[in-house]
Amino acid sequence: MERSGEDDVADNRAHLTAPSDDDDGGGDFEASALSSNMFLDHVGEVVLTHNSDGLSWELRESIPNEGSHCLGIKLDHKVPDNIKLSDMYAVELAGYGSIHRSNAGQICFGTEFHGYEMYLLKVHGFKKSKTKPCLWVPATYTFGHKDLSTCEMWVNLVNASLNREVGRPKNLLVFVHPLSGKGNGYRNWEMVAPIFARAQIKTRVIVTQRAGHAFDVITSITNNVLRSYDGVVTVGGDGFFNEILNALLSSRYKAPYPPAPSDFAQSVGINGCSVVHNPNEIVSENSDQNEDDDPLLAIPQHNGSGSSNLHTYHQDADFPFPNEWFRFGIIPAGSTDAIVLCTTGARDPITSALHIVLGKRLSLDIAQVVRWRATAASKVEPCVRYAASFAGYGFYGDVISDSEKYRWMGPKRYDYCGTKVFLKHRTYEAEIAYLEVESENTNSASDRVQALWGTNKSERLICRTNCMLCNTKPVYTSSRATRPTPYSRPEETRWLKSKGCFLSVGAAIMSNRNERAPDGLVIDAHLSDGFLHLIMIKDCPRASYLWHLTELARKGGHPLDFEFVEHHKVHFLITFHVSSASLNIFGLPCFLYVVQTPAFTFTSSGNQSVWNLDGELFQAHQLSAQVFRGLISLFASGPEV
């Protein structure tokens, strides 16, 4: 005989300990497992149990192992039987409504669904897509009971457990770029806003109205007000995120200029002083009207030698960076969304929102780029910018510059402008110097590379969730710095230089995966290892460059692994010095150079230069750059395997 919901009230009260009258849902409940008989929608009568890990449930009447059949087809009745607290973000009373019970094991057209009217409670969490583990899908479990007080006790019980989860945000500042991508900014926020509401997260939402609006708001907020938020969320593309990143760092973070070879330092008069950039100068170069905001593919590099004076950096005591509690969140709405793809593994607003409400945390390297001269004729006037994903010159600077005239085309303008720039095959004469860093417990660059990446390219360590390399402290740290930069041991550094005609020069802070480069510019670049991947492509035949770009655009391609450099098995080197004379194979000149470095300098021999910083234009004839390891934290957990 079937049991009704009323039959279980006594059982529930016997097993479930109610909170005291003055408990607001945040008090401590007894640690032992608590259980109650409930109905789970579309499943049936279950015993719901609460324990330290979360909730689990067991059917009162087991479903036959063979499952049911419909037209001779066996149906799978496997349903989840638990949800962890770490995967749960909200629980709520859902009023009075129907719960349906399925009698598994019957022929499908004869299966009856018994509807019960009772009080409902909903548990909100997520599950990973079976085909795409990085894609998180909302999962809601609806339980019912005839007794309202029983449902209320369960809501209070689960809320008390959720309140004890560490790191979950309670108050967020949200900026929405309404024109981002194809105008998806506001629509994407409306899509995810209910998730934040269910999680009881307060959000102050600002929809930007003009260029530089978000920048002005961030720089005008006092530290006391900013500290009342657990983080800032951007709804837009990578360029919009770059604007807010620069607003926070330029107004609150003090750091020395990047290190440089002695001749470069003398030419620009570097004195090692800490600087905070003038916010107005950044706004003038930022474009809040960018719908797309993201680095495109990737590029260039080579070698030399020298030395420099190195400095530690300082933190603002009022609002320090790195910051253990304040995090950045990104709801993707751009044209490429490389940062989201690299940090969550999915270009999906729902997945990003779930990472935020669950309080995920991921450290991210940030590059500081200092422009010393905008043009060859300019005076030395340092201008500081920060980048989270990519800095590119030459081909990629020209593409982003030319695409400004074709915004009406949307994301397709990159393909159109990229084709135009490629056909011009323009080269740029420049000099690049990059910092080589030796690890104190390895004897050579190749030893260190082998230790990290292995001797076979298939053994390269790809950055994933709980990445071993990103979570390992560097061995070249200095005790003088609270958060040292990778070049904290000047006695173990040297400068390598390259001068010539380049098709492109770029620095990748992360792999920069996107739809145009599905594996990224550098497939095994890491999110928080303290290094830039400097990629330089010297002048080469147009066919060779097309080959490189084609490999970038292909899933499983090898853009940095051409036959004429095949004898160099490891391309992503921590301290690798490539000799151009040794890379002329079968009469074909090598044009591709890749090196991992914490800092580099650049000087153009032309009149002016255009750089691409996270998809934003940046005029710079002469610049220097350095990377700060784990300078900021994101609401993310890294891409899954």
List pLDDT tens digits, range 99-139: 886 654 444 444 444 577 999 999 999 999 888 889 999 99
Is 339 found in the same domain as 419? yes
Query: Who wins on pLDDT, 68 or 14?
Result: 68
Mean pLDDT of all residues in 34-44: 90
Report helix, strand or coil for 45: strand
DSSP annotation of 4: P
Judgement on whether residues 555 and 414 belong to the same structural domain of the protein: yes
Average the pLDDT over 561-590 and give the result. Answer: 32
Q: Is the pLDDT of residue 578 over 80?
A: no
> In whole numbers, what is the pLDDT of the chain averaged over residues?
75
Q: Quote the pTM value.
A: 0.80
Whether residues 300 and 160 fall in one domain: no
Has residue 395 been placed in a domain? yes
pLDDT at 555: 82
Task: Quote the tokens at residue 220.
Answer: 């005008």
What are the CA-CA distances from residue 533 to residues 308, 391, 458 (Å)? 20, 10, 19
150 pLDDT exceeds 90? yes
* Same domain for 454 and 331: yes
Number of domains, the chain = 2
User: Going along 414-453, which residue ranges are E strands?
Assistant: 428-437
- Indicate the pLDDT class of residue 474, thresholds 50, 70 and 90: low
Does residue 181 form part of some domain? no
Residue 242 lies in a domain: yes
Last residue within a domain, chosen from 130, 146, 164: 164
Tens-digit pLDDT profile for residues 453-471: 333 444 467 888 888 888 8
- For helices 238-252 and 213-220, give the axis angle rounded to 10 degrees: 30
Active site residue 147: no
* 306 and 425 part of one domain: yes
Of 354-363, 523-532, 586-595, highest mean pLDDT: 354-363
CB atoms within 10 A of CB 30: 7
CA distances from 621 to 373, 379, 467 (A): 5, 11, 37
- In this structure, the chain runs to a length of 641
Q: What is the pLDDT of residue 561?
A: 63
Closest CA to 77 of 97, 112, 102, 110: 102
- What is the rounded CA–CA span in Å between residue 466 and residue 571? 24
The pLDDT value given to residue 295: 36
pLDDT band at residue 383 using 50, 70 and 90 as cut-offs:
very high
Provide, rounded to the nearest whole percent, the portion of the chain with pLDDT above 90: 38
Helix (H) or strand (E) holding 625: strand 622-634
Domain end residue (candidates: 98, 130, 164)? 164
Question: Are 608 and 376 spatial neighbours (Cβ–Cβ below 8 Å)?
Answer: yes
Question: Is residue 179 a part of any domain in this protein?
Answer: no
Does residue 235 sit in the same domain as residue 127?
Answer: no
Highest mean pLDDT range out of 291-295, 436-440, 474-478? 436-440
What is the CATH classification number for the domain harbouring 511? 2.60.200.40
From the candidates 238, 292, 293, 519, give the one annotated as an active-site residue.
238
Angle at 347 between CA 514 and CA 409, to 5 degrees: 60
Of residues 591 and 342, more confidence is placed in 342
Q: Do residues 587 and 439 share a domain?
A: yes
- Contacting residues for 92 by C-beta, under 8 A, at least 6 apart: 121, 122, 124, 155, 198
Give the confidence band of 240 by pLDDT, cuts at 50, 70, 90. very high
Q: Is the per-residue pLDDT at 607 higher than 80?
A: no
The helix (H) or strand (E) run that includes residue 9 is helix 9-15
pLDDT at res. 183: 77
| Residue 57: per-residue pLDDT | 94
Give percent of the chain with pLDDT exceeding 70.
69
User: The domain spanning residue 47 has which CATH number?
Assistant: 2.30.29.30
Asked whether residue 180 is domain-assigned, the answer is no
Same domain, 270 and 144: no
Q: With respect to residue 194, please indicate whether it lies within any of the assigned structural domains.
A: no
What is the span of the domain harbouring residue 501?
Answer: 217-634
Query: CB-based burial of residue 137 (10 Å sphere; 0-12 exposed, 13-18 middle, 19+ buried)?
Result: middle
Does a structural domain hold residue 559? yes
Phi then psi for residue 39, to 5 deg, are -110, 130
CB of 578 closer than 8 Å to CB of 359: no
**Cα dist. 152→112, 115, 158, 349, 446 in Å?**
30, 22, 10, 31, 63
**CB burial class (10 A; 0-12, 13-18, 19+) of residue 598?**
buried
Model confidence at 63, in pLDDT bands (50, 70, 90)?
Answer: low
Specify whether 251 is located in the same domain as 350. Answer: yes
| Predicted pLDDT at 203 | 97
Residues 508 and 376 in one domain: yes
| 208 belongs to a structural domain | no
Confidence of residue 624 (pLDDT cuts 50, 70, 90): very high
User: Averaged over 257-284, what is the pLDDT?
Assistant: 64
Same domain for 138 and 237? no
| pLDDT of res. 473 | 63
What is the per-residue pLDDT for 269? 77
SS3 of residue 302 by DSSP? coil
Assess contact for 211 and 223: CB atoms under 8 A. Answer: no
Torsion, Cα 303 305 306 308, to 10 degrees, reads 50
CA distances to 359, 366, 455 from 85, rounded to whole Å, are 12, 32, 41
Q: For 80-105, what is each residue's pLDDT tens digit?
A: 889 999 999 999 999 999 988 665 44
One domain, residues 594 and 482: yes
Residues paired with 428 in a beta bridge: 502
| Beta-strand pair 82-84/390-394 | unpaired
* Token pair in block for residue 469: 């390399």
- Domain boundary at 164, 183, 204, which? 164
